[in-house]
C-alpha cells in the first residue's frame, strides 16, 4: 500500500514524499487527519517562521483576500511600497524587487549584477563566482550557480558564467577572479549544504576583494533571512554588507514570496522594462509579508530567537553526550541548527519522525532543525525528549542487529 499512492499519483514524481499528510497546524504543531500531532522542526524548510495558523497572519491574509488579491505591477501597490520601505529601513538596501520564490530572487540578483556592469560600459563582465555545497534554487541559472552535479545532469548545457570554488576558500576566489567577473555569490550560512557557516573574517575578506576588483557581493539569505539566525538578516551578525541580497522562505510565513534587495548603485541598470514579474509583489503577498514583519520586528522577538537557540544548543550538546555514536557535532546560528550525524542523517530523521517530530536532512550528513521562530522553552524540551527517544531507538536497533 505504501507505494501504491506514489506510483498512481498524478503528481510528477520529483519528490520522495513521506506517507504523511496534515489537515491543520497550530503554532509548532502539525496535525494529521487522524488527529496525530507532530512537532514541526522543519517549518516547511524554514518557511513557517511564525509556525502554523498564526492569528495575525490569518487575519492579514483573510482581510486582504476580501479586498483585492492581485492587480499586476502595472499599477501602484501601496502595501508593497510599505513592505519595501520597511525592508529598506532595516537593511543596507535602497531598493526591493518582489518575487514568488527564492530562485526568482536569485535570478533577479544575478541579472542585476550583470546589468550593473553593462550599464557601466562593461557588458563583458558577467561571470559570477560561487561556492561548492551552495544551493541557490532549481532554475537553469540557479542550478548552474549551485554547481551540484546531481541537479545539473541531463538538463543540457550548463548556463554559462558561473565559476565555482571550494567552500570559503579565499585563495581560490582570488585565483578565479578574471576581467569578466561581475560578482561573488554566497550564502552566509549554507543551508542545504549542511548548515555550514562562512567565518566572519572570510566574509570580510570577500567584501575587500569585491571592493578592490569592482565586483558586487551578493548574499543568498533565502534561508538565513527574516530572523532565522537571531538577527533580521545573517549578514548583520558578521557586519559585512552585501550589494545585493536575495531573500524568500520566511518572509511570507508560508505564503510563496521572495525579494531581491540592493543598493541604488548595484541596481543602476535595472530600469523600466528590463526585468519583470506577473505575480511578484501582489497585494495578497504584500499583506502577508507586512504581517510577518509586524511580528518579527516587534521588540523582543529576535531576543527570543537567540534565547531559544541557546537553550536548544545546550540541550543538543547534552544529547550528543548521551548518544556519542549518533551525534558528531551541533552547529548553526539562531534557529538554523545542524546536527552532524554518525549514522545516516536520513535514519535520524526517520527515527525522529517515528517520535512524531519533523526535521529536514541536509548535505554533509547533517540533520537540520528549523523550528518556527516563536517557540519557547517548553517546545525546546519537547524536541529534546523526542530526539532523545529517536537516538535511543536507533541504538536499540543497532544492539539488536549486533546480537543477531
Ligand atoms: C530554498 C533556497 C533557495 C531556493 O528557493 P525556492 O523558493 O525553492 O526557489 C535558494 N537559496 C537558498 C539558500 C535556499 O535555501
Structural domains in the chain plus CATH codes: 24-47+300-403 (3.90.1150.10), 55-296 (3.40.640.10)
Do 288 and 80 form a contact (C-beta atoms < 8 A)?
no
Give the pLDDT confidence score for residue 378 in this predicted structure: 98
Residue 244 Cα to chain centre, angstroms: 16
Q: Is 138 annotated as a binding residue?
A: yes
Q: Hey, which of 130, 228, 244, 249 would you mutate to test ligand 1's pocket, going by the most ligand atoms within 8 Å of its Cβ?
A: 249
Q: In the chain, which residues have pLDDT < 70?
A: 1-7
Ligand 1 contacts (CB < 6 A) are 101-103, 106, 135-137, 187, 191-192, 220, 222-223, 248-249
29 Cα–ligand 1 center, Å: 23
Task: Say if residue 220 carries a ligand binding annotation.
Answer: yes
Of the candidates 341, 400, 335, the residue with the CA atom closest to the CA atom of residue 366: 341
Q: CB–CB of 135/167 below 8 Å?
A: no
Q: How far is the CA of 201 from the centre of ligand 1 (A)?
A: 25
Predicted pLDDT of residue 3: 45
Of 223, 228, 247, 253, best ligand 1 pocket probe by most atoms within 8 Å of the beta carbon: 223
Distance (Å) from CA 220 to ligand 1 centroid:
8
Nearest in space to 327 (alpha carbons), one of 173, 335, 336, 337: 337
User: So what's the pLDDT on residue 230?
Assistant: 98
Q: Is 282 exposed, middle or buried (0-12, 13-18, 19+ CB in 10 A)?
A: buried
Q: In what order do the strands lie in the sheet with 327-333?
A: 327-333, 336-341, 366-369, 360-362
Do the annotations mark residue 360 as ligand-binding?
no
User: Which of 90, 31, 42, 87 has the alpha carbon at shortest distance from 335?
Assistant: 42
For ligand 1, the distance from its centroid to the CA atom of residue 102, given in whole angstroms, is 4
47 is in an annotated binding site: no
- This prediction's pTM: 0.97
Question: Measured from the CA of 101, which atom of ligand 1 is nearest?
Answer: 7
pLDDT of residue 76: 97
Contact 201, 240 (CB under 8 A): no
Position 7 scores a pLDDT of 65
> What pLDDT is recorded for position 8?
84
| Gap from CA of 18 to ligand 1 centroid (Å) | 21
Amino acid at each position: 500500500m505504501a507505494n501504491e499512492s506514489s506510483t498512481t499519483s498524478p503528481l510528477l514524481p520529483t519528490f520522495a514524499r513521506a506517507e504523511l499528510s496534515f489537515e491543520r497546524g497550530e503554532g509548532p504543531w502539525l496535525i494529521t487527519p487522524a488527529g496525530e500531532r507532530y512537532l514541526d522542526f522543519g517549518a516547511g524548510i524554514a518557511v513557517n517562521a511564525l509556525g502554523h495558523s498564526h492569528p495575525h497572519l490569518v487575519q492579514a491574509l483573510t482581510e486582504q483576500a476580501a479586498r483585492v488579491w492581485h492587480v499586476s505591477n502595472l499599477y501602484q501597490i501601496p502595501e508593497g511600497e510599505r513592505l519595501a520601505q520597511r525592508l529598506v529601513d532595516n537593511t543596507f538596501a535602497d531598493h526591493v524587487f518582489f518575487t514568488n520564490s527564492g530562485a526568482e530572487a536569485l535570478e533577479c540578483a544575478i541579472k542585476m549584477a550583470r546589468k550593473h556592469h553593462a550599464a557601466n560600459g562593461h557588458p563583458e563582465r558577467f561571470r559570477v563566482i560561487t561556492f561548492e555545497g551552495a544551493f541557490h534554487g532549481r532554475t537553469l541559472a540557479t542550478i548552474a550557480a549551485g554547481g551540484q552535479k546531481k541537479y545539473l545532469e541531463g538538463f543540457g548545457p550548463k548556463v554559462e558564467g558561473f565559476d565555482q570554488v571550494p567552500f570559503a576558500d579565499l585563495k581560490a576566489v582570488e585565483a578565479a577572479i578574471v576581467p569578466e567577473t561581475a560578482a561573488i555569490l554566497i550564502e552566509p550560512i549554507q543551508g542545504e549544504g549542511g548548515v555550514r557557516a562562512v567565518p566572519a573574517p572570510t566574509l570580510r575578506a570577500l567584501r575587500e576583494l569585491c571592493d578592490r576588483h569592482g565586483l558586487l557581493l551578493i548574499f543568498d539569505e533565502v534561508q538565513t533571512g527574516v530572523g532565522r539566525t537571531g538577527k533580521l538578516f545573517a549578514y548583520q551578525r558578521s557586519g559585512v554588507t552585501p550589494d545585493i541580497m536575495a531573500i524568500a522562505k520566511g518572509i511570507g510565513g508560508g505564503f510563496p514570496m521572495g525579494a531581491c534587495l540592493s543598493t541604488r548603485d548595484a541596481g543602476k541598470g535595472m530600469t523600466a522594462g528590463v526585468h519583470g514579474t506577473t505575480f511578484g509583489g501582489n497585494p495578497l503577498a504584500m499583506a502577508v509579508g507586512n504581517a510577518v514583519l509586524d511580528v518579527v520586528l516587534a521588540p523582543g522577538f529576535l531576543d527570543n530567537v537567540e534565547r531559544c537557540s541557546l537553550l536548544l544548543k545546550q540541550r543538543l550538546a547534552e544529547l550528543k553526550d548521551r548518544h556519542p555514536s549518533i551525534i558528531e557535532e551541533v552547529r548553526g546560528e539562531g534557529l538554523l541548527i545542524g546536527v552532524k550525524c554518525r549514522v545516516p542523517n536520513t535514519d535520524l530523521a526517520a527515527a525522529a519522525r517515528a517520535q512524531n517530530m519533523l526535521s529536514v536532512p541536509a548535505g554533509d550528513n547533517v540533520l537540520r532543525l528549523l523550528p518556527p521562530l516563536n517557540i519557547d522553552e517548553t517546545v525546546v524540551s519537547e524536541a529534546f525528549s523526542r530526539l532523545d527517544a529517536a537516538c535511543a531507538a536507533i541504538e536499540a536497533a543497532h544492539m539488536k542487529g549486533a546480537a543477531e
